[in-house]
Structure formats: C-alpha cells, structure tokens
Amino acid sequence: MNIVMLVGEGESSKIVYNSLSKDFEINLIIEDTSISKKAFLKRRIKKMGYLKVFGQILFLIYNKILFKKSKNRINSIKKENGLISDLYPKEIFKKVASINNQETIKILLKNQPDIIIVNGTRIVSKKVLNAIDAVFINIHAGITPEYRGVHGGYWSLVNKDQNNCGVTVHLVDEGIDTGGVLYQDNIKTNELDDFNTYPYLQLSKAIRLVKKAIKDVKSGSVKILEKSDSKSTLYSHPTLFEYIKNRIKGIK
C-alpha cells in the first residue's frame, strides 16, 4: 500500500509519523502552511464576532503560562507511550503553501497513494478529496459527532460527559469531522492532567487506532461505526472567561 500523509506544522503530526513509520512505510509527507494570523482572525471574527474572538485571544495568551506548568506531565505521557517528535526524513518531505492548492493535487496524482493520513491540517477541500482515488483517514481529538471541531477532550469534561472524552479515527468528507467513524476510544485523566495534556493522551490512543484502520484498508475490511442517536455539535477554542468559569468548577 502506498501511504501518504497530509500534515500540519505542529508537533502532533511528527509524533504520528514517527509512530506509524515503525509499522508502515510512509512514502511521502506533504506539510500544509498555516493560514496567516491576520486572515485567520478576519475569518473568525466574521463567523463568531469580536467579543468571542477577543476572549479566545486572551485565553491563548494565558495558556502560554499554563503550558509551562503542563510540561512535566506532557513529557511523562510522551515517555510512557513512546511518542517521539523527531523531524521528518528530508527525502520524503514536501512543503506546500496550502494542501488545497493545485500543487498538492499534482503531487498526489503523481504519487497515486492508496491511503492518505490527515493530521493537523486545515479542512481538506472537495477538489482535493475528489482528485485522487484514495482513502482519506483523519485523526480527531474528540468523540464524533458529539465533539466535532477542537478540544473535544476538554469540552466533554466541561459537559461532565466522561463517556465521550476520547479520540476518533474517521474517513474524511467535505464536512468538519463528519466523515464515517472507523474507530473510537476513551482516555482516562487524573489530577495532573489539564487542557494541554489531554491532546497527548488522545494522540497516544489515536495512533493505535489509525494503525488498525490502515490494516483494515489493506485487507479490504473497512467498517463504519453506526451511531444513530448521537447529537452533533461543533466546538471552538474557549475564551478566557469560559476557561476561568470552568476552572472554578474543577475543569483544568
């Protein structure tokens, strides 16, 4: 099987590559370029309004302090689960301005992958999904469809919904985390965990699941998990005010 990865610039994608490459040959890595902060803020303000976005920015600033306090726990999770963030091999790495541009499509058509693993990128466009006859598999840090968007682990705990605090490996379609669910699993948190450690716990679970999904594609035994009575909700970054309110309630 010809396996290609579409990745973002963050650490999580490097961890996924280093973990998958132990069991599978990854033939190509295409890294997305993050959208500019100006364009990102403009788009978000149009969608959510100034007050909401201002609160989110305040939280991002505050979270830099929180992240330093989380570092020891993060390192412990990485060590316990063998999560390695070494750089990609240069010979299989390509950087593009956007995974949704024509350059990416040309690269995919040239390489003809059977499986495309998606992690940490912007939403993959319809034209890219339709350009190649490959199975697109995404790693989502949340249980779908209940916790689509971002920070699914955090929001599930805010909602006192421990049964849906976990991770999903799913097929990619045109929606936001709406593709068919292949595998899901829950995470267990303790008093040392917080907003910044949940994603590492989720990633450690997700890697095992995506390996199963790849084997399913190779054997032609892919099955979609049916969830009939699930409520679909899209979540975004918390504002500082929301985080403080939830912190008082005991959710870190």
Confidence class for position 39, pLDDT limits 50, 70, 90:
confident
Helix axis angle for 240-248 and 50-81, nearest 10°, is 60
Residues in CB range of 60: below 8 A, 6 or more apart: 237
* Per-residue confidence (pLDDT) for residue 41, from 0 to 100: 86
What's the topology of domain 3-248? Rossmann fold (3.40.50)
> According to the model, what pLDDT value does residue 37 have?
81
Confidence at 227, pLDDT banded by 50, 70, 90: confident
CA-to-CA separations, 45 to 42, 48, 49, 120, 147, in angstroms, rounded: 5, 5, 5, 22, 22
Amino acid in position 168: T
pLDDT digits (tens, 9 = 90+) for 152-183: 999 999 999 999 999 999 999 999 999 999 99
User: Rounded to an integer, what distance in angstroms lies between the CA atom of residue 216 and that of residue 137?
Assistant: 12
Q: What is the mean pLDDT of the chain?
A: 95
Q: What is the DSSP letter of 164?
A: G
Segment 91-106 shows an average pLDDT of: 96
DSSP assignments along 58-93, one per residue: HHHHHHHHHHHHHHHHHHHHHHHHT---PPPPGGGE
Q: How confident is the model at residue 226 (pLDDT cuts 50, 70, 90)?
A: confident
Residue from 99, 100, 119 nearest 170 by CA: 119
- Statement: residue 211 has pLDDT above 80: yes
Work out the average pLDDT over 122-134. Answer: 94
Give the pLDDT score at 228. Answer: 74
Give the span between the Cα atoms of 135 and 5, in whole angstroms: 11
Q: Which of 241, 251, 249 is nearest to 56 (CA)?
A: 241
Residue type, 135: V
